[in-house]
Structure 1
Amino acid sequence: MRGPTDAPRGRRRIALAALGVYGAGLLLVVLWPQHVDRDIVPLIERVHEWFPPVTHARVEFAANVLLFVPPAALLAALLRRRRWLVAPIGVAASGLIELAQDALLPGRTADLRDVLANGTGAVLGLLLALVLDWRRARRLRRAPGYDLAGARRA
């Protein structure tokens, strides 16, 4: 028989596994010897000709924001009571990535704008996790026969 804590433990395992897989992919992207977007630059330039607001700098910034949303949301789900740590962890991880790229990868360039974008993504990931938790709690409050912990009332 399942108890009220089984589901959160299961979700925690899934979040941890997803964070590990995403983290491995993220490391592959950030430690790739050359810029990973070099093949898409011609497409961005063609789009820019037709729609000038689309620039390489804006696409790169948006991509860096989006890159950190999923791991931040997953980390927020794991940290629960210490979620506030997600933003500083995201900024610190991004700073370390940029330092590693600068020191170890001659084909890559370190950029403070990447740290800003990644930090923004970390904050957005945290906000996403908070909204999802709020919606879940709201749904549970409205469900007949369930308390906030998700356990069936006697």
Structure 2
Amino acid sequence: MVLAILTAIYAWAVGWLTLRAAPYGSDIASALDKLLGWFAQREATAWITFDRVEFGSNVAMFIPLGVIAVLWFGVRGWWLAPILGALASVGIEVAQSVFLDSRVSDVRDVVANTTGAVIGMCLMLLLAFLLSPPSPRRPRTA
């Protein structure tokens, strides 16, 4: 029951973030522009651009999907996480393209989102491996 509620909250949050007419309010856009401008003025942080922040945000947004997929389908169903990530991302991009004139559909978002789902899946598989009991060793026979 808890997993179902968390899944619903996550799905709502992703929908709210990706399927609104405006990706963020003018206050947030202004603050982000100022922050990116500040980064651009410094040699050590000039590589932090809007495209990189957006890509990283898309990756981060889909890491929970990979975690949730492994929780729903188990370690043996790990292969569903990248498929669900890609399908959900393509669905979002199609909906943005068809229904939202203020949003831009982009293949890079599908790549970033799927990458996030894969990272979440890998984290869960690593956790499962680390938490699994050691298998008993069989004695060697000659």
Task: Confirm or deny: 8 A CA contact 1:62 1:117 kept in the other structure.
Answer: yes
**Counterpart-to-counterpart distance in 1, 2:10 and 2:85:** 14
Question: With structure 1 as the length reference, what TM-score do the two structures score?
Answer: 0.77
**1:41 shift after superposition:** 2.8
Instruction: Indicate the SS of the match to 1:38.
Output: helix
Task: Confirm or deny: 8 A CA contact 1:16 1:78 kept in the other structure.
Answer: no
**Counterpart-to-counterpart distance in 2, 1:71 and 1:15:** 12
**Counterpart-to-counterpart distance in 1, 2:104 and 2:29:** 13
- Residue type of the partner of 2:102? G
Instruction: Indicate the SS of the match to 1:93.
Output: helix
Partner of 1:31: 19
Partner of 2:8: 20
**Counterpart-to-counterpart distance in 2, 1:83 and 1:16:** 18
Question: With structure 2 as the length reference, what TM-score do the two structures score?
Answer: 0.83
**Counterpart-to-counterpart distance in 2, 1:78 and 1:98:** 24
Partner of 1:41: 33
**Counterpart-to-counterpart distance in 2, 1:101 and 1:116:** 16
Structure 1 vs Structure 2: percent identity of aligned residues?
A: 30
- Residue type of the partner of 1:19? T
Partner of 2:140: none
- Residue type of the partner of 1:79? F
* RMSD, matched Cα: 1.9
**1:77 shift after superposition:** 1.1
Unpaired segments ≥5 residues, structure 1? 1-12, 143-154
> How many pairs does the alignment contain?
129
